[in-house]
Structures are given as structure tokens and as C-alpha cells.
Amino acid sequence: MLWRGSTVRAVLGGLGAVVVALAGAYLTALQIDPPVTPEDKATAHTWGLVAIGVVAAVALIGSLSRVFHLVFFGRRDEARAHVQQALKVLVWDVHELTDIDVRTLGASAWMVQGFGPFSWLHRLGRERFSAVPPPSRIRWTKGKGHIGRCWETGQQVVANVKARDSEQQSISTADEWEALPADRRMGMSFTEYERIRRKYGTVIAMPVTDGKRGNRVVGVISLDAPPGTGHRPLTAPAVLEKVGQAADAVAAFIC
């Protein structure tokens, strides 16, 4: 999880306050009990300059950190706001195209975090007017689940999840789950599968690509609907086009 700007500033501010307090205490001690011998005076003079330099450095860093916060975290917050707006537009556009109740639709934006085998998809934003289903809390990695497969292949994924769940309705134990072919398990453990089982009817995943880096996949846009909403309307070209437009909008702000 990414730290919020306010958390980072609070931690750095606390450390800076401790350092300044220690430096101030040392300078105060020199005034109360000044050194007597030439050697002690020389040492005190050196450490006094160090303490003054530390106080000045902390003050400078504090000023620069405020500028950094306004520039970096301001831009990040702006990007998040644009991502959230793109998801809201997507959900309403799909509602208008399909007449599916907007309260049942969900959309999320994911961004690749980490590097190499230690990469995962971090959720940048989520748009859902209902609290059901709640976030799965699954750590999606390359190849895991439908959004992980979208990331791995760089291609859109349109999954009839209800039909897949029906095919696997007899699976009730981890051993039975592990006996399934790898393409059926999609990188998930039985516990992870149970978290999302019977919650979705359709899942659409669209890659977010960075054209400046050879169309490298840097994230995923996902759209989902619960069982009973109908799979076919969500596979219409006009719907897929809207998901693609949301991916392009998100790419413009995270690439």
C-alpha cells in the first residue's frame, strides 16, 4: 500500500523535531556548563557548529519538503481524482448502453507496483454504488485471476464467471481445487477462490499500456457485474470500447 502524503510528512516532521530538540539541548548545555580546558573548548566548538548546521539543515529540508509535497503529492492526488472520474464515467456509460442497474456494476483501476517477480497490481480507484460485493483483498499478481491474466497477456479478457462457477460448483475442498488443471485455477489458491466465488457474473479486464515504453502494460481496468445481470449485453463491442476508453484515460494520468 502506498503511504499517503500526510503520513509521510508526519513521520519526517516527527524525526526532524527530535533531531532539532537534541541539537538544541546540546547548545543549551554548552551555555549552562561551558567547557574549561582548551581541548574541551575545541571539541565543544566543533560539535556546536555541527548542531547549528543540523538545525539549519532540518529547517531547509522542511521548506523543501513542503514544496515537494505540493508538487509530487498534489499531482498524485490530481491523478487519483482523474482516475476516479474515468471509472465513474465508465460505470454510467455501461449502464446507459445496457440498461443494467448502475448499482450492480463495479469498476476498478489497477497499477503495476514492484519489480520483476515481486510485482503486483495495486488498486488506484474503485467505483461501486453498492457495498456488495466488498473488495476481495486478494493480492493480484501476473497471471492470477482474470485481471492478472490480462496483465500477463496484454490482451482484453471477457470472462463469463457465472458459467465457470457453475462448472466448478461441486468443488468443496482445497484438494479438489488443486486437482483442477492450472488454467482453471488461474493462479489462485482455494481460499482465494472462495473469496470471489459466486460474487460475479461477468468480469471484463482491459490492459492499460504506456505507449512511450513500447506499449508496456502498466495497469488494468476491470469492469464487473453480479450473476443474473446477463453476460451477453456486457460483451457488446460498444461496451468493450467504453472499457478501452477508460483504460486510455487512466494511462494519460499514470504514464
Longest dimension (CA), the chain: 90
Say what the pLDDT of residue 26 is: 62
More confident residue, 16 or 162: 162
Asked if pLDDT for residue 91 goes beyond 80, the answer is: yes
Say how far apart CA 196 and CA 138 lie, in whole Å: 9
Mean pLDDT of 55-70: 58
Listed by start position, the domains of the chain span 5-71, 77-254
Q: Please tell me the least confidently modeled range out of 15-29, 44-58, 78-92, 232-246.
A: 15-29
Say what the pLDDT of residue 6 is: 47
Say what the pLDDT of residue 57 is: 75
How many C-beta neighbours within 10 Å does residue 7 have?
Answer: 10
Say what the pLDDT of residue 16 is: 59
- Please write the tens of the pLDDT for every residue from 101-140: 999 999 999 999 988 888 999 999 999 998 888 889 999 9
Question: Considering only the top CATH level, what class is 77-254?
Answer: alpha beta
Asked if pLDDT for residue 40 goes beyond 80, the answer is: no
Peptide bond into 35 cis (omega under 30): no
Say how far apart CA 4 and CA 128 lie, in whole Å: 22
CA contacts within 13 A on the Cβ side of 102: 13
- 219: helix, coil or strand? strand
Confidence bin at 71 (pLDDT 50/70/90)? very low
C-alpha cell at 8: 509521510
Q: Is the whole model's pTM more than 0.85, yes or no?
A: no
More confident residue, 194 or 53: 194
Mean pLDDT of 222-240: 95
- 94: helix, coil or strand? helix
